[in-house]
């Protein structure tokens, strides 16, 4: 077994099925949570659960856990770029004067 | 590190890191494409919270939830297909990619029935019924068709990619020694799943 192969790590089926089950449970939780009126908090709960599901998919299904640091850096840059876009858009629209 | 792996590398000088990094770069452009649409959604949700709530109530949670289960399961099958091929179980891998293709088509069939029902009720872009609706609902349904439509095109492309990979596995061009094409096809498919993970609560579960 070599550690320098870039051909990748084999993820056992048991891990993949466990991740899938976790994703199903999170889907049920997100539906259940949406039936409870939390006001403005509802959207943040939904997005929080969606982010956790994404993290599971990226980490295990997309093998990110076993990729080298360069992949993580790329992912970080993409997510920061997206956050900057969203943040700056809201800096604009939230503080517009009513016409 | 045995001698055999060295010769194997010499015979197949494929750069796995480079191939996958290229795929990830492409996926980031997809994230920015959908990201722009999610920004539109966020701005209009903030402007028309009532209209979005009324629009969301008209979408069928069972279609959305059912399709969520279909896509999550398809992500599992393609991930298992990679594991199977890495372990040298070629036939199992072929069956698992086939299952992924089956789930992709299942998703599209669900989408067809869902959209047909909406269109039957007169809700589609530029319809007379939609024009009479309040502004918030109009924006909601237009964005709904735009985003789920663009996502649907990605599912269709994904189904095509899975068909192509199945053919490559059959031909032996993708095999236990050289499977980066299957990995990249899987990465694309997981992205399609990731986008749906956000679309589902934002459109079907909005309160």
A16 in Cβ contact with B83 (< 8 Å): yes
B38 in Cβ contact with A87 (< 8 Å): no
Chain-centroid distance of CA B119 in Å reads: 23
Token pair 């698992």 in the structure block, residue: B96
Cα–Cα distance for residue pair B42/B40, rounded to 1 Å: 5
User: Sign of the C-alpha dihedral, residues A89, A91, A92, A94?
Assistant: positive
- Partner A contacted by B1 (CB < 8 A): yes
- Please classify residue A90 by burial: count the beta carbons closer than 10 Å to its beta carbon, then call 0-12 exposed, 13-18 middle and 19+ buried: middle
Residue B63 within any structural domain of the chain: yes
B182 in Cβ contact with B81 (< 8 Å): yes
Residue B19 within any structural domain of the chain: no
Beta bridge partners of B175: B178
> Of chain B residues 129-168, which have a CB less than 8 A from chain A?
none
Residue B20 within any structural domain of the chain: no
Residue B109 within any structural domain of the chain: yes
Q: What is the domain extent for residue B69?
A: 37-204
Chain A hits for B38, CB-CB cut-off 8 Å, are 86
DSSP class of residue A68 equals -
ipTM score assigned to the predicted complex: 0.89
- Partner A contacted by B201 (CB < 8 A): yes
Confidence (pLDDT) at B131: 85
Residue B18 within any structural domain of the chain: no
Find the helix or strand (DSSP H, E) in which A1 lies: none
Number of C-beta neighbours around residue B196 at 10 A:
22
Measure in Å the smallest separation between the Cα of A51 and chain B Cα atoms.
8
Residue B51 within any structural domain of the chain: yes
Chain B hits for A27, CB-CB cut-off 8 Å, are 65, 68-69, 72, 200
Cα–Cα distance for residue pair A91/A87, rounded to 1 Å: 6
Which stretches within chain B are classed as H helix?
3-11, 16-47, 49-57, 61-86, 90-120, 128-132, 135-171, 180-204
Q: How much of chain A exceeds pLDDT 70, in percent? A: 91
B28 in Cβ contact with A79 (< 8 Å): no
Chain A hits for B202, CB-CB cut-off 8 Å, are 46
Average pLDDT, 10 consecutive residues per value, chain A (99 residues): 57 96 97 89 92 96 93 94 91 78
Confidence (pLDDT) at B192: 97
Residue B74 within any structural domain of the chain: yes
Count of the separate structural domains present in chain B: 1
Cα–Cα distance for residue pair B5/A1, rounded to 1 Å: 10
Closest CA to B144 of B32, B56, B63: B56
The answer to whether the Cβ–Cβ distance between A30 and B205 falls below 8 Å is: yes
Which residues of chain B are under the pLDDT cut of 70?
Answer: 1-13, 207
Residue B7 within any structural domain of the chain: no
Q: For the CA atoms of B188, B194, B195, B199, what is the dihedral angle to 10 degrees?
A: 150
Q: What's the pLDDT tens digit per position in B114-159?
A: 999 999 998 988 888 888 888 889 999 999 999 999 999 999 999 9
> Of chain B residues 54-113, which have a CB less than 8 A from chain A?
61, 65, 68-69, 72-73, 75-76, 78-80, 82-83, 86-87
- Find the CATH number of the domain harbouring B54: 1.20.120.80
Confidence (pLDDT) at B10: 47
Confidence (pLDDT) at A97: 74
Chain A hits for B42, CB-CB cut-off 8 Å, are 86, 89-90
């Amino acid at each position: 077994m070599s550690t320098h192969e870039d051909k990748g790590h084999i993820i056992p089926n048991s891990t993949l099925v466990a991740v899938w089950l976790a994703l199903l449970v999170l889907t049920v939780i997100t539906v259940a949570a949406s039936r409870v009126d939390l006001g403005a908090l509802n959207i943040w709960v939904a997005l929080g659960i969606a982010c956790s599901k994404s993290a599971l998919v990226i980490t295990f299904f997309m093998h990110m856990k076993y990729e080298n640091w360069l992949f993580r850096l790329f992912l970080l840059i993409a997510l920061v770029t997206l956050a900057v876009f969203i943040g700056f858009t809201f800096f604009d629209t939230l503080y517009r004067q009513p016409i | 590190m045995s001698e055999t792996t060295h010769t194997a590398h010499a015979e197949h000088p494929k750069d796995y890191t480079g191939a996958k990094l290229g795929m990830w770069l492409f996926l980031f452009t997809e994230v920015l494409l959908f990201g722009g649409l999610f920004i539109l959604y966020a701005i209009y949700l903030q402007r028309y919270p009532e209209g979005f709530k009324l629009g969301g109530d008209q979408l069928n949670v069972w279609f959305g939830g059912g399709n969520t289960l279909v896509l999550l399961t398809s992500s599992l099958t393609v991930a298992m297909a990679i594991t199977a091929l890495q372990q040298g179980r070629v036939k199992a891998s072929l069956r698992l990619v086939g299952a992924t293709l089956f789930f992709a088509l299942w998703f599209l069939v669900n989408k067809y029935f869902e959209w047909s029902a909406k269109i039957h009720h007169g809700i589609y872009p530029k319809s007379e019924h939609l024009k009479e609706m309040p502004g918030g609902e109009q924006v909601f349904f237009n964005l709904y068709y735009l985003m789920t439509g663009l996502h649907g095109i990605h599912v269709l492309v994904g189904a095509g990619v899975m068909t192509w990979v199945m053919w490559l596995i059959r031909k032996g061009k993708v095999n236990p020694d050289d499977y980066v094409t299957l990995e990249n096809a899987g990465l694309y498919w997981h992205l399609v799943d990731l986008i749906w993970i956000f679309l589902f609560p934002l459109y079907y579960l909005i309160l």
